Amino acid sequence: MYSTILPGIRRISDEMVALRRQIHAHPELGFEEFNTSQLIIDKLQAWGYQVTTGIGGTGVVASLHGGRGPVIGLRADMDALPIQEETGLSWASRIPGKMHACGHDGHTAILLAAACELAQSRRFHGTLHLFFQPAEEGHGGSGAKRMLDDGLFQRFPCDAIFALHNMPGLALGKLGFRAGPFMASTDTITILIHGTGGHGAMPQHAVDPVVVAASLVMALQSIVSRNVSPLDMAVVTVGAVLAGDAANVIPATAEMRLTVRALLPATRQLLHQRIRLLAEQHAAGFGARAEVRLQHGYPVLVNDDVITRQLSLLAQEWLGADNVIDELAPLTGSEDFAYWLEQVPGCYFIIGNGDGEGGCMVHNPGYDFNDEALPLAASFWVRLVEYWLGPVEGEAQT
């Protein structure tokens, strides 16, 4: 795999690893990536990029123009998580309670390494936008959504967009793709059941919302098992039921909190409709009233079929078919790049973070981004740009 690393990337890889560790040691949570974005801005300006700041809060867009041609966008996320790091590494977080436990430090450094090489080589015709996004983890809201609300694609229209994420458990040097729906939508639904409070000894004078909630928890299980196709993925979890304080008091209300996930936009709609109908009519059947509040989270992440197949083929030609997983299984996690893919076709793909023993999953206090993945992934960004914005078809493969 090492022969596939571009010479220009190899030359700067030590510097980029040091940069990654610097970001890792100074993690910043969503919309607070002030120092991280300043570091990115300084580098990109020095390399000759046209840099726009303050998009979606701390978001940065860096543009490089290479004459007439298509426009593509590459995205990296910048934010850390509220986790206390336990790696014991010399570059471990110096900020208590904050940690780059999802490898966004790596994603940022990968894109910077590619940016450095592309600014020098400039083997492309068209326009390249690099998007450095805040708050992928959703603390304080979605950074991708905030950038959209700031007119991202009106100000920087793109023909295609791309993003990557590292994956512990997938061998180093491997890339993974999936055309179509790849990551789940995630929504939160709150059901407030209004009954009539009363004395625990005189239930005949009350409408007990606890009984309604208990019955509704079971009824909700029928949605995935009876309304969703057995061939489709969906999750309805009642994560919290809150009601009452005392053994001898029937409370007036009960609250239920649900997380709801789906892999198809149509299934997502079905879940919303069925939960609302079931809650309202179930409660009515007991003489109570259900108030259903839907809080939309990230949508289903849907990769463009044609672009994803092209990208997978490019990876196979470059790395060899053995190092590319063409049909990854869908993931039940979610990702706010999904908002962008609703507006612009593109592909979100996976790079291996290593499958060695002791490697931790993302969001674990023992996790660290694998620096060996950096030059490979940066080289792939460069290959992708030269392919998509290649002056002559096939030239990128030479």
Cα–Cα–Cα angle for 160, 147, 76, rounded to 5 degrees: 60
Please report which helix (H) or strand (E) contains residue 65, including its range: strand 59-66
Q: Nearest approach, Cβ of 267 to Ni ion (angstroms)?
A: 24
Q: Nearest approach, Cβ of 391 to Ni ion (angstroms)?
A: 34
- How far is CA 25 from its chain centroid? 22
Nearer to Ni ion, 127 or 334 (CB): 334
Answer yes or no whether residue 76 interacts with Ni ion by CB under 5 A.
no
Q: Nearest approach, Cβ of 66 to Ni ion (angstroms)?
A: 30
- 8 Å CB contact between 107 and 52: no
Q: Nearest approach, Cβ of 137 to Ni ion (angstroms)?
A: 7
Query: What is the phi/psi pair of residue 386, to 5°?
Result: -70, -30
Cα–Cα separations (whole angstroms), residue 113 to 156, 250, 315, 365 = 22, 62, 19, 26
Nearer to Ni ion, 80 or 223 (CB): 80
CA–CA dist 364, 99 (Å, integer): 10
Answer yes or no whether residue 183 interacts with Ni ion by CB under 5 A.
no
Cα–Cα separations (whole angstroms), residue 265 to 42, 179, 233 = 40, 15, 11
Answer yes or no whether residue 102 interacts with Ni ion by CB under 5 A.
yes
- 8 Å CB contact between 21 and 103: no
Q: Nearest approach, Cβ of 165 to Ni ion (angstroms)?
A: 6
Binding mask 128-147 for Ni ion (x = CB under 5 A): --------------------
Nearer to Ni ion, 62 or 144 (CB): 144
Nearer to Ni ion, 105 or 386 (CB): 105
Nearer to Ni ion, 157 or 169 (CB): 169
Q: Nearest approach, Cβ of 4 to Ni ion (angstroms)?
A: 25
CA–CA dist 239, 260 (Å, integer): 10
CA–CA dist 282, 256 (Å, integer): 14
Which span (87-95, 101-109, 276-284, 343-351) binds Ni ion, by CB under 5 A?
Answer: 101-109
Nearer to Ni ion, 117 or 335 (CB): 335
Within positions 193 to 232, which residues make up the interface with Ni ion, using CB under 5 A?
A: none
Contact residues: Ni ion, CB under 5 A: 102
